[in-house]
């Protein structure tokens, strides 16, 4: 957007999205951390996500260093901007080789610390089917010592120390900000031109919000960095499900009206009229 000022000057305003992936990822991370236990607060921020401890090698350590250097540079840059400084991101770049490998935190996706529940599904097909149902994929955080030996510094769905703690499912909660983000997404999606005309629009938004509350933390950062698309697809599916249910109920009502000699709904009458025009070619 370009705004014309006095004396012929112009000013360009950057378009600001009402929600973005960066803020969503930050709140998802905070929410998941309420279900976790760490040796120290610094252990809660991971630098790379891996599938197993065996994947910690020279290449993944190098990538973790780069990720950590980029994250620290962006954090320092954003802090300077908030303080009103006129700076560029290049001023805060860090040589990733200067980062000590013992400072790195590796997130390992694993079910090693999760309680088994073999009877939950009769025919388990995936690894998660053998364990209790979780609100998000479980993980552990690891560091390495100077000899490249990994040791655990954090666990999801856990309370207490790494050795003397215990598994827990219900001690955490979603952050208030993430909940407000979900409410905003459902409200704005329901106000789109192709949805806002339905009389049961409020029911659509309520059902979508309930669905987000159930699956919101199931977003897997190891597979994507686009939670906005994940949540939008969830809302779309929820809206469509309510629409199909209402259409089915409407058809049942119309059938009963016609069986009893009454006129069906205006929608069915219009559909029948359009079908007649196509059949007759008029």
User: pLDDT per residue over 107-133, tens digit each?
Assistant: 999 999 999 887 777 788 888 888 999
What is the chain's alpha carbon radius of gyration, rounded to the nearest angstrom?
Answer: 26
Q: Nearest Cα to 53, choosing from 12, 136, 112, 13?
A: 112
Predicted model pTM: 0.83
Q: Which string of b and e fits 73-99 if b means at least 16 CB within 10 Å? A: beebbeebeeeeeeeeeeebebebeeb
Of residues 263 and 191, more confidently modeled? 191
Average pLDDT, the chain: 88
DSSP H/E element including 23: helix 21-33
Q: How many other CB atoms are there within 10 angstroms of residue 214's CB atom?
A: 11
Under 8 Å CB-to-CB from 75, ≥6 apart: which residues? none
Confidence of residue 266 (pLDDT cuts 50, 70, 90): low
Identify the H or E element spanning 4: strand 2-4
SS3 of residue 224 by DSSP: coil
Quote the pLDDT of residue 259. Answer: 79
Residue 157 · residue 169 · CB < 8 Å: yes
Total residues belonging to the chain: 282
Segment 27-49, tens digit of pLDDT:
999 999 999 999 999 999 999 99
Answer whether 41's CB lies under 8 Å from 35's CB.
no
Query: What is the model's pLDDT at position 11?
Result: 46
140: which strand partners? 108, 155
Residue 10 is predicted with a pLDDT of 52
Write out the H or E segment, with its range, that includes residue 12: strand 10-12
Mean local confidence (pLDDT), 70-86: 90
Check residue 15 and give its pLDDT.
56
Phi/psi of residue 114, each to 5°?
-95, 140
Instruction: Give the alpha-carbon dihedral of 98, 139, 217, 41, to 10 degrees.
Output: -50
Average pLDDT for residues 239-256, to the nearest whole number?
Answer: 84
């Amino acid at each position: 957007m370009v705004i014309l000022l006095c004396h012929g000057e112009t000013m360009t305003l950057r378009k600001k999205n009402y929600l973005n992936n960066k803020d969503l990822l930050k709140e998802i991370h905070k929410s998941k951390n309420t279900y976790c236990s760490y040796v120290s607060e610094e252990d809660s921020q991971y630098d790379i996500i891996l599938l197993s401890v065996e994947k910690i090698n020279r290449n993944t350590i190098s990538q973790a260093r780069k990720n950590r250097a980029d994250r620290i540079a962006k954090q320092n840059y954003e802090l300077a901007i908030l303080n009103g400084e006129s700076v560029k991101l290049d001023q805060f770049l860090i040589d990733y080789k200067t980062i000590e490998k013992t400072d790195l935190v590796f997130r390992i996706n694993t079910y090693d610390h999760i309680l088994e529940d073999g009877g939950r599904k009769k025919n388990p097909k995936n690894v998660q089917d053998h364990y209790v149902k979780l609100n998000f994929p479980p993980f552990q955080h690891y560091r390495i010592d100077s000899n490249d030996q990994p040791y655990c510094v954090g666990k999801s769905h856990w309370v207490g120390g790494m050795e003397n703690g215990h598994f827990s499912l219900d001690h955490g909660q979603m952050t208030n900000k993430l909940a407000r983000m979900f409410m905003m997404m459902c409200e704005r999606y329901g106000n789109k031109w192709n949805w806002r005309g339905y009389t049961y629009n409020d029911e659509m938004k309520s059902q979508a919000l309930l669905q987000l509350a159930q699956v919101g933390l199931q977003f897997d950062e190891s597979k994507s960095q686009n939670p906005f698309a994940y949540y939008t697809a969830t809302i779309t599916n929820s809206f469509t499900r309510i629409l199909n249910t209402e259409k089915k109920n409407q058809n049942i009502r119309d059938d009963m009206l016609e069986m009893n000699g009454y006129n069906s709904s205006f929608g069915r009458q219009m559909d029948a009229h359009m079908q007649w025009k196509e059949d007759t070619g008029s």
